[in-house]
Amino acid sequence: MEARLEEHLDRFGLALVNDKHKYRKVVAKKVIKKGTTVITSRPLCNPIIFPTHRSKHCETCFRAKGSTSHGGQAHDLERCSVCKKRYYCNRECFTTAWKGWHRWICPDKDMENLDYEMLKMVVIAIERLRNGSSSPSLTTSASGTSGTHIGDDLHQEVEPLELTEYVFSTLMGHEAVSDHAQLSKYREIATSVRDQLVKSKYPFKSPLSAGAPPSVQELVQYLCRFHCNNFSIHDTQLFTMAEGTFPIGALFNHSCRPNAIVMYEGQMQIVRALEDIVPGQEVCTSYVDNGVQRKERRALLAEKYYFHCMCPRCEQEEEPVDAVDQDQSQEASSPPQESAKPKWTGFRILDDLIEGEQDGPKDGKIDGEWLTRQFEPIVLPNARSLHTAGPEIQPPGLITRASFTSYLVHSIVPLIQTGVSEALYQERLFRIYRELQMTPHASPKPFTTTVMTNATSFFNTCLEHGSWALASKIGMFVLAQYLMIYPRHHPLVGLHCFTLAKSLWNDVEGGLSSVRLSHEVLLLAKRILVVSHGTKGQNGGLVEEVVQFLKTVETELG
């Protein structure tokens, strides 16, 4: 099986190599272009839709209620008449689910526990595989993604289910270091799943199982593996809606500055490259939001995944900056070397910049008036064209929210639009971080993550109230922060650009300059979303929306 995994990864230009710190890692064997699929991963069993999202998605194909992909007609969902908890597109999706797994879950209508459900379904999936009768709901042809492209270039076959199961069996569960209270909770769940399977007379026919479900101890191991390997599944807009076990996807290690991202197409997981990845380079996704502060990231990673992050953004944070930043441009252009001593990358400054709690006015009252003042001399009126490279932008004398916004957006957007290499992009980004660090700034510090969180929530409030002028200003500020923190083609940045462009478009007060800026931001959205979402399938539908909107704006501009 190990050889089959190697062969499978090789087909995608990847290799799994041992690593003394990280157990193992996935490394590129060829150039992987940004915006292409690194690999796809199938779920070990049907992913579980969160109870709050059940009425909005079909359990079998994950299609959203109201979507038009079923023969062009917006479709409604029907509820299982027995448990009254699961929803399906139609008879076909229901039958697939019923035969596959739902009849074993349906009677547990009083159980509202994701771990319980996932465990039961994984046991069934593995047993079926062992006795040669894999569940139809586990094949992509029945899961509704058949015929759709999963990613631009994606026609590669999905891994065989035996491989999914094998990779699952190799995943780390960290049982030895798990919390006692958690383990005893897991034992309880394992015992109840086992009892239930026995009671419902689930047929354990495979020679390996010898007529009985796996032992409680084995089930606890599964639960530990879920804990540190399962994924939250999100929709095109990045709203989480379900949870699933995707063993191949779980092979990728974490980085707080990832070069790949996890997306979903129906029930399939797709790992997409956010930047050009060169041979020898490790492919990493991110397990936590890159927009949170170092301390919080550390705590999350330690608690859920049991490791101390040594990614380029976190490693060497104890080393003094001045002693190690000599050699940057050379480092940026030289290929990564396996054994070379890691050099300081400049991302460390980022974490210094975004650290801090203070935000808001001195008297503590945040209202529309205060906000308007904060964002007053906004970029809009004298915005330069954002998508062509101009002369280098000089940092402002004093950094306020408004001058920060203008400086960041004008410095970074042209680099994205002109598609400079990752090495050059990082070099320029580090210089910007340095400038931000050295320039005096208004108090409180205008670019901490606390400020960003507040600004994001104000942005949403303004959108809800149709306060387009204010939303546009705050939205520009949020964009500047995202550009500072996230990888340039991160889906969150693209999605924010799209929303911001709509707000600018609606801002009648802003007149023609708002329409022009809306156009600039839309071009940026398109550039980013083509990489993060691709142009095919459900995710590609978003790029299509951006293109349609661009046409409308261009008509207005003439």
Q: How far is the CB of 117 from Zn ion (least distance, A)?
A: 12
b/e string for 58-97 if b means 16 or more Cβ within 10 A? bbbbbbbeeeebbeeeebebeebeeeebbbbbeeebbebb
Distance CA 272, CA 260 (A): 5
- 272 strand-pairing partners: 37, 261
- Nearest residue (CB) to Zn ion, 315 versus 325: 315
- Nearest residue (CB) to Zn ion, 65 versus 387: 65
Q: How far is the CB of 464 from Zn ion (least distance, A)?
A: 31
CA 475 to chain centre: 21
Q: How many helices (H) and strands (E) does the chain have?
A: 19, 12
Radius of gyration of the chain measured on its C-alpha atoms: 25
- Nearest residue (CB) to Zn ion, 38 versus 89: 89
- Nearest residue (CB) to Zn ion, 241 versus 309: 309
The answer to whether 530 and 523 have CB atoms below 8 angstroms apart is no
Q: 3-class DSSP state for residue 165? A: helix
- Nearest residue (CB) to Zn ion, 227 versus 297: 297
Binding site for Zn ion (CB under 5 A): 58, 60-61, 80, 82-83, 89, 93, 106, 256, 309, 311, 313-314
Q: How far is the CB of 282 from Zn ion (least distance, A)?
A: 13
Distance CA 402, CA 397 (A): 12
Tell me how far CA of residue 525 lies from CA of 335, 408, 413, 499, in angstroms: 30, 16, 11, 9
Q: 3-class DSSP state for residue 231? A: strand
Q: How far is the CB of 347 from Zn ion (least distance, A)?
A: 9
Q: How far is the CB of 296 from Zn ion (least distance, A)?
A: 12
Q: Is 26 left (phi over 0), alpha (psi -120 to 50) or beta?
A: beta
Q: How far is the CB of 307 from Zn ion (least distance, A)?
A: 10
Output the six-digit token pair for 460.
């949403």
Q: How far is the CB of 374 from Zn ion (least distance, A)?
A: 31
Choose among 290, 291, 286, 276: nearest CA to 249.
286
- Nearest residue (CB) to Zn ion, 148 versus 439: 148
Q: How far is the CB of 549 from Zn ion (least distance, A)?
A: 29
- Nearest residue (CB) to Zn ion, 80 versus 125: 80
Distance CA 493, CA 112 (A): 35
- Nearest residue (CB) to Zn ion, 166 versus 202: 202
- Nearest residue (CB) to Zn ion, 301 versus 413: 301
Q: How far is the CB of 84 from Zn ion (least distance, A)?
A: 7
Distance CA 510, CA 230 (A): 46
The answer to whether 491 and 482 have CB atoms below 8 angstroms apart is no
